[in-house]
Amino acid sequence: MGRVQVFDVNETLLDLAGLDPHFERIFGDHAMAALVMTAERAGVPLADDDKKAVAAQLRQLPAHPEVDGALRRLRDAGVRLAALTNSTEEVARAQLEHAGLIDTFELVLSADTVGRLKPAPEPYRMAAERLGVAVDQVRLIAAHAWDVAGAARAGCATAFVARPGKVLDPLVERPEIVGADLTEVADAILAADQSDNRGAYRQRPPHQPDNDAGGGRQASSEGAPDARAPVTGQHGQADGDLNQTDDALEDDVPGRDIGGQDAGQLQDRHWHAQHPGEEGHQDQPEDPPPAPKHADGQQSDERGQRG
């Protein structure tokens, strides 16, 4: 099974063209707090109506054009999808519902629930726990270098959506997957998962056929493995002694030394069994027939002398 794909929301999935692009590039998902701080620093009064207008616009952002198709292709391929954002869960759900994407996600998660915002490790680990997988089975997909870096430090796999104006941090290890948009990233995710599945298949033990083409040996009627084939444990070591099996099989094979008996005697016995009523095996001359008895019940002198 492939990794669970966990998506950042703002800018990764949703288009922030309706907001100041420089504001989003600098402050990321901390939009409202940064807006208040910036206004205070600049000495500009921020009216409640202004804050409400920005908050309303955040809830009504459209998805990037390719996002819907890319997410549905992943979902239809059986890939598990979730969303993870620094916004509250309420805001994130409203955003995804407005964009028509909410039904593609198994879970919508907020860093707000653990009291730490991305890129701290707690949100990524919380996502793994909620999804029921190890943290290394999560792939975080984001258009923010800081988000990708935080996920990698937490132990996640990562993918970067290189939206216009978004660049990776050259001091941070490059993500496994990088694409210009979500279509390219989805293509790479599907290819990576197929490669992982093929690798898992190659690591399985090879199939053991019921019949051995060379020796004609067959499995038992209960489907047990071939008696001559070693039973392999988890570390590849034989769990049985093949010599015992060979000894058991040799009882039916003529011409072999079994249990201390002479091979020639076995060959002769086998020949007689196949040729009843005929002369003895030419390679093993028989003893001469006994001498005829006299009327008095004694053997002839010749037989007695031979004895």
Which of left, alpha, beta for 67 (phi over 0: left; psi -120 to 50: alpha)?
Answer: alpha
Task: Count other C-beta atoms under 10 Å from residue 45's C-beta.
Answer: 8
Which of 194, 199, 203, 202 is closest to 79 using CA atoms? 194
Tell me, yes or no, if the pTM score tops 0.85. Answer: no
What domains, with CATH codes, occur in the chain?
4-201 (3.40.50.1000)
Yes or no: say if 72 and 91 are a contact pair by the CB < 8 Å rule: no
60 phi, psi to nearest 5 deg: -120, 25
Q: Give me the sign of the Cα torsion angle 202, 206, 207, 213.
A: positive
Q: What is the pLDDT along the chain (307 residues), one digit of tens a residue?
A: 689 999 999 999 999 886 764 455 445 556 667 667 777 777 777 677 777 777 788 889 999 999 999 999 999 999 999 999 999 999 999 999 999 999 999 999 999 999 999 999 999 999 999 999 999 999 999 999 999 999 999 999 999 999 999 999 999 999 999 999 999 999 999 999 887 766 554 554 444 444 444 444 443 334 434 433 333 333 333 333 333 333 333 344 333 444 444 445 555 555 555 656 655 445 444 555 555 554 444 444 444 444 4
